[in-house]
Structure 1
Amino acid sequence: MSSPEDLAEKFGELPDEVMAELQNMLRIYNIDAEDLFFKWEEYCLKMGEDIKLNLKNITTFKDDAREQFEIEMRAKSKSAQAPAARGVQRTAKSTGDVFNMLDGLTPATPRSAGPSAAKRKLEKAGYETPLAERTSKLAVGSSPVGPGPGFRTPGAITSVPFRNRPDPGKVMEVYNPNIEIPELPLPGYPGYESRVQFAALIQAKNFGYKPMYQKLVAGSQVLDDRIEEYAVAIQKEHNIPNEDFCNPCSKLPEEVVVVGRIVTDVMESQKRSNEASLLLEASRGDGEGGRVRLDLSALKGYAFYPGMTVAFKAMNPTADKLLVKSVLTPPTYFGAGSKPSDMEEEFRKLAAGNFNVFIAAGPYTTDDNLDFEGLTELVDKIVETEPDAVFLSGPFIDTEHPKVKLGDFPVDMNNFSGYVLEDLFKEKITSQLNRITKSMVLLVPSTRDAVSKHVSFPQDRFQRKLLGLQPNVQLLTNPCMIALNEIQFGISSADILFHLNMQEVKASGKGIEMNTFHRLANYVISSSHFYPLFPAPEASQVGYTTPVDLQWMRLAEFPGNIKPDVLILSSKLPGTVKVVNGVVTINPGFMSTTRTAGTYAFMTVEPPTKILEEENIVPPPDDEFTLKHRIYNRARVEIRRI
């Protein structure tokens, strides 16, 4: 059993009564501090809010853990009894079809009900579509015809009604509170057309590739290229001669520099990676694609994840274990800048006041309905305040929503276009977006969007005509890098923060960032990639599948390795905002959790007045001199409850 020191390392300093309760849970369930911490994280995510470690919350956490434990024990008990039960059923009389797909239309035996009985049943039933309560019996079974055992039917969900949501409008977190929010709408606000200039920084047409056509050779080449390009960048960053780089899998009696990708040999998807499971994989060019186990005992602290490209100073005296002495800092990537003339144009555009942005991420409704009350409330605020831009990322019509899975929603046959889910989008989403007329709306799809023709990540844009979207809606790829005036935004709807949190292997120590959000976001920024994790987690780990098309993962790189000014990474982790590596990084949280309303983000950015005044530089004739945008000094960001 773990010691109080182990608990303190995972949970931090705690009151004595809380520490006693945690130690009690360790004894009851015979687990260690790390497993208990994972259970606490899962509990916080399930509750959909940031919960403090006090005696009251620990008590409810214990109750929840006990319920989960009892459910697991009942499931094990049933699985142990299942063979005997099946043996008895073989001798029993047939009671109908195996999965109740015919809803009792099949007679119990040929003698008890003849063809006439079946005919009467058919006449009574007609050719109607199965009701939700009938199909739900099929959906929750273990049969291949329905969703897996983790699926929940709408009847099993107890959601908080939207009108009873906790603390509506409450500001959960503020970045740069010294910057004042202007009175919105701005006096004489002319609309976004004269204030916002849109520019895409990626080649959107490249995202129109055919998904599910991945070639293994092309995918492996992408992984190799990332290792080799990282080695070149590391050599330039640290000024390392060629002869100091070696194959990590060969015998290395002296300390050398090795470059490779972190991999893990954990076989069961339900188990998390740990220090003992980590290996370093070399590229095929420099190390023939070999793998060697890592010995991290010499490091005072570390933080790795599968797919992470790293450079070590290390030894391998026996050729079977790499003794890591130190980790080389990753290459430095620079932020965006603009010409002084462009900054002056930005100043003129914002003469009426600050640049204002709303940011929200799906799901947009709880699991027991398709009313989209949170989205309606958000659009009400947007129409009232008239911001310059609105970022909305998917999923909108979520493939993981129970009612979408069952098809449990009405279809208006009078306006039926032949596309059921697209009609649902137009009814619930497009109708709301059409109310926004003075703001630019930027839509980012998700791989969980039922209306997206593109099923893999990186992901192509929505189809405007099919969804009936108006001209002020800009359709973005997933991920995407754009510029609104001089401000560069990077955005992705893939929940990379949560996925990294599930796969990360770390040990606290010197040089290791203790703030979880800061550390996870820095993985993305320092790798110059929107999804550096490989492979993506399985559905059994995070509750849904993340289809990554490895062959096209170069599309998820930061264009030109330039850091954005603002990075938007929506996640089921609690909404927050921090400056990470010089980048204003925002997780707006989800608009709705499975059972209650969630959060969104609001950002206001001051014009570059101070930058122009402080620099006071006359640009050279070629106008190649650039000024840094310094959005981290000019922006105020709030995380708000809807």
Structure 2
Amino acid sequence: MSSPEDLAEKFGELPDEVMAELQNMLRIYNIDAEELFFKWEEYCLKMGEDIKLNMKNITAFKDDAREQFEIEMRAKSKSAQAPATRGAQRGAKSAGDVFNMLDGLTPATPRSSGPNVARRKFEKAGYETPLAERTSKLAVGSSPVGPGPGFRTPGAVTSIPFRNRTDPGKVMEVLNPNIEVPHLPLPDYPGYQPRTQLTVRVKPINFQYKPMYQKLSAGSQYLDDQIEEYAAAIQEEHNISIDDFCNPCSRLPEEVVVVGRIVTDVMDSQKRSNEASLLLEASRGTGEGGRVRLDLSALKGYAFFPGMLVAFKALNPTGDKLLVKSILDPPRYYAAASKPDDMEDELQKLSAGNFNVFVASGPYTPDENLDFEGLTELVDKIVETEPDVVFLSGPFIDTAHPKVKLGDFPVDMNTFSGYVLEDLFKAKITSQLNRITKSLILLVPSTRDAVSKHVSFPQDRFQRKLLGLQSNVQLLTNPSMLTINEIQFGISTADILFHLNMQEVKATGKGIEMNTFHRLANYVISSSHFYPLFPAPEASQVGYTTPIDLQWMRLADFPDNVKPDVLILPSNLPGTVKVVNGVVTINPGFMSTKRTAGTYAFMTIESPEKVLAEENVVPAPSADFTLKRRIYNRARVEIRRI
């Protein structure tokens, strides 16, 4: 069992009574401090908010842990008990074939004749459930549509009614508070059309592939090409000769450069990767696709995740373990820039005032109802303030929602189109979006959207006709990179931040970013890829499945390896905003958590007037002359409670 020092290392300094409760949990469940800390993190994520470790919250945490433990024990006992009982009965009565291999495969054919046959039939009948009993259990208090009135999902958290939510409208975090929020709607606001020019930087037609129909050879080739391309980028970044790259799986008595992908040999999905489980996978060209275990003891600090492409200076004296001496910095990717003429056009477009954006992400309603009160409240604010652009990302009709899974919602047969879930979308979502007339709405699907024909990531757009969407709604792929005027946005609804947080292996030390959000977001930006993690976590780890079409993952690359000005990564983690690697990175949070109403983001961006003035721009000396947009200095971003 872990010591109080181990608990203090994981949880920090705590009051004595809280520390005593944590030690008590270690004894009860026979776990170590690290596993208890993981359970605390999962509990905080499930509650959807930051929670302090005090006696009130530790008591609720203990109750939740006990409930989850009892559910796991009941499931294990059921799965272990029933097969063992049947096996023991067959063994006791065995008198037939060798090792009883055919026992039970032909129940209608007696193994032998004689008086024992009738007795065996009688004994067998005693263990079968009569049909009447089974049907009566289904008939009482049930319906083909949904559960009975007393049904409650085990482990479910009772949500707070939307009208009783705490601190509505409260600003949780602000980026660049020195920039004033304009009074909205802007005076003489003409609508989004003259102020907004949208250019999508991905080709939607490429996303119209047949989902989940991948070839293993194509996926394998993609993974191999990733390593080779990364090696070429490292060679250019650090000016290293191609002859200096070596096979990490061979004997290397001297320090050399090796390139590969981080993988883990942890097979149990319930356990997290650790330092001892990490290996480096080489490409087929350099190392015949081999893997070698890593020795990270020489590093003062590190942070890795499965699927991460890395370059090391290392040696391998025995050929069995790669001793890593240092980590080479990843290739640098540059932000897009604008020509002075484009900035002048932007300045004219925004003559009425700042460029204003709302960002929100689903789920938009709690597990207990399909009222979408949070979405209604958000649309009320949008109609009132008339921003230029509204980003809305899925899931909208969540496949994980209990009422959607059970079909527990009414269907209006007078307007029934033949598509039940699409009609539900039109009734709950489209009806609200149609109220917005002066803003450009950008819809991004999620792999959890029940109305999406495309079930895997990367994901195609929604179908406009089936959802009855109006003309000011633009449908985007997932992920998507787009330019609005001279500002480049990137957005993805695959919860890469939460997934990375669950899979990351790190040791704090020199050069390791301590802020979790900053570190996780930088993984995405420095890899120039919306989903650098591989493989995706299982449902037992994060609560749902993220289907990945590996052979099409190039569609998740940043176009031209150019960083966006604004990166939107909705996540189950608490909403926040940071400037990461020169990119304004926004997690708006979810509009609704399992327990209460959530958060959204509001952004206002100043015109490029100051940029043009500071650069003393004159007619451009050449067609290639560009200016940095510096959105990280021009944008105020607020994370607000709905």
TM beyond 0.5: yes
**Residue of structure 2 equivalent to 1:95:** 130
Deviation beyond 6 Å, 4+ runs, structure 1: 84-89, 134-137
Q: Specify whether residues 261 and 416 from structure 1 end up closer, same or farther in structure 2 by C-alpha distance, changes over 3 A only.
A: same
Q: Specify whether residues 187 and 89 from structure 1 end up closer, same or farther in structure 2 by C-alpha distance, changes over 3 A only.
A: farther
Deviations 1:221-248 (A, max 9, x none): 1111111111111111111112211000
Q: Specify whether residues 567 and 170 from structure 1 end up closer, same or farther in structure 2 by C-alpha distance, changes over 3 A only.
A: same
Structure 1 segment 8-157 matched on structure 2, within 5 A:
8-79=8-79, 81-83=81-83, 91-92=126-127, 94-96=129-131, 100=135, 103=138, 130-133=144-147, 153=153
Q: Partner amino acid for 2:253?
A: P
CA contact (8 A) 1:154 1:403 kept: no
Q: Partner amino acid for 1:536?
A: A
Query: Residues of 1 paired with 2:360 and 2:154: CA distance?
Result: 24
Task: After TM superposition, give the deviation of residue 24 of structure 1 in Å.
Answer: 3.6
Is 2:291 the counterpart of 1:291?
yes
**Residue of structure 2 equivalent to 1:380:** 380
Query: Residues of 2 paired with 1:554 and 1:231: CA distance?
Result: 17
**Residue of structure 1 equivalent to 2:602:** 602
CA contact (8 A) 1:136 1:153 kept: no
Is 2:452 the counterpart of 1:438?
no
Query: Residues of 2 paired with 1:619 and 1:181: CA distance?
Result: 32
Task: After TM superposition, give the deviation of residue 53 of structure 1 in Å.
Answer: 2.8
- Structure 1 residue matching 2:366: 3-state secondary structure: coil
**Residue of structure 1 equivalent to 2:312:** 312
Q: Partner amino acid for 2:392?
A: L
Query: Residues of 2 paired with 1:536 and 1:625: CA distance?
Result: 42
**Residue of structure 2 equivalent to 1:112:** none
Query: Residues of 1 paired with 2:488 and 2:312: CA distance?
Result: 33
Deviations 1:240-283 (A, max 9, x none): 11221100011101000000001111111111111111111001
**Residue of structure 2 equivalent to 1:627:** 627
Query: Residues of 1 paired with 2:295 and 2:520: CA distance?
Result: 23
- Structure 2: gaps (5+ residues): 90-122
CA contact (8 A) 2:145 2:406 kept: no
Query: Residues of 2 paired with 1:101 and 1:555: CA distance?
Result: 52
CA contact (8 A) 2:68 2:155 kept: no
Q: Identical aligned pairs, as a percentage? A: 81
**Residue of structure 1 equivalent to 2:615:** 615
**Residue of structure 1 equivalent to 2:462:** 462
Task: After TM superposition, give the deviation of residue 131 of structure 1 in Å.
Answer: 3.8
Task: After TM superposition, give the deviation of residue 361 of structure 1 in Å.
Answer: 0.4
Query: Residues of 1 paired with 2:348 and 2:154: CA distance?
Result: 52
Q: Partner amino acid for 1:130?
A: P
**Residue of structure 2 equivalent to 1:256:** 256
CA contact (8 A) 2:47 2:594 kept: no
Deviations 1:561-607 (A, max 9, x none): 10001100001111111111111111111111123211111111111
| Count of residue pairs the alignment pairs up | 607
Query: Residues of 1 paired with 2:198 and 2:459: CA distance?
Result: 20
CA contact (8 A) 1:26 1:32 kept: yes
Q: Partner amino acid for 1:378?
A: L
CA contact (8 A) 2:522 2:580 kept: yes
Q: Partner amino acid for 1:362?
A: G
CA contact (8 A) 1:383 1:435 kept: yes
Structure 1 segment 113-512 matched on structure 2, within 5 A:
130-133=144-147, 153=153, 158-512=158-512
Task: After TM superposition, give the deviation of residue 135 of structure 1 in Å.
Answer: 12
- Structure 2 residue matching 1:28: 3-state secondary structure: helix
Structure 1 segment 519-530 matched on structure 2, within 5 A:
519-530=519-530
**Residue of structure 2 equivalent to 1:144:** none
CA contact (8 A) 1:619 1:625 kept: no
CA contact (8 A) 2:293 2:320 kept: yes
CA contact (8 A) 2:489 2:567 kept: yes
Task: After TM superposition, give the deviation of residue 16 of structure 1 in Å.
Answer: 4.6
- Structure 2 residue matching 1:414: 3-state secondary structure: coil
Question: Could you tell which deviates more after superposition, 292-301 or 526-535?
Answer: 292-301
Query: Residues of 2 paired with 1:529 and 1:464: CA distance?
Result: 28
Q: Partner amino acid for 1:542?
A: V
- Structure 1 residue matching 2:462: 3-state secondary structure: coil
Root-mean-square deviation (CA, aligned residues, Å) is 2.3
Q: Partner amino acid for 1:56?
A: K
Q: Specify whether residues 101 and 271 from structure 1 end up closer, same or farther in structure 2 by C-alpha distance, changes over 3 A only.
A: farther
Task: After TM superposition, give the deviation of residue 632 of structure 1 in Å.
Answer: 0.8
Q: Specify whether residues 156 and 237 from structure 1 end up closer, same or farther in structure 2 by C-alpha distance, changes over 3 A only.
A: closer
Deviations 1:599-633 (A, max 9, x none): 11111111112111100122434331111111111
Query: Residues of 2 paired with 1:164 and 1:197: CA distance?
Result: 40
Instruction: State the TM-score, normalized to the length of structure 2.
Output: 0.90
Task: After TM superposition, give the deviation of residue 19 of structure 1 in Å.
Answer: 3.6
Task: After TM superposition, give the deviation of residue 197 of structure 1 in Å.
Answer: 0.7
- Structure 1: gaps (5+ residues): 106-124, 138-151
Q: Partner amino acid for 2:442?
A: L
Query: Residues of 2 paired with 1:155 and 1:511: CA distance?
Result: 40
Query: Residues of 1 paired with 2:66 and 2:195: CA distance?
Result: 56
Q: Partner amino acid for 1:479?
A: P
Question: Could you tell which deviates more after superposition, 29-38 or 448-457?
Answer: 29-38
